[in-house]
Amino acid sequence: MTTTLAYSGRPTLAMYLLPLGLLKNVYAGTTSLFSTAGNLVKALPLLWLGALSAQQ
């Protein structure tokens, strides 16, 4: 559910970035950066709560 909600913002990001006329590699890097940041925001609380560990 969290991932679905996080990726629902992707079209909004595309609507903002596409009119800027970025090069393909800059666009891909920017969207990757936003995805990575979103994953970190989700992972940090899970690590803090102990829901993620190397034993799993």
Give the span between the Cα atoms of 14 and 35, in whole angstroms: 12
Per-residue pLDDT of the chain (56 residues; tens, 9 = 90+): 556 665 667 888 899 999 999 999 999 999 999 888 888 888 888 888 888 776 65
pLDDT at 6: 57
In the chain, where the domains are located? 2-49
Annotate 24-45 with b (16+ C-beta within 10 A) or e (fewer): eeeeeeeeeeeeeebeeeeeee
pLDDT at 30: 93
pTM tops 0.75 = no
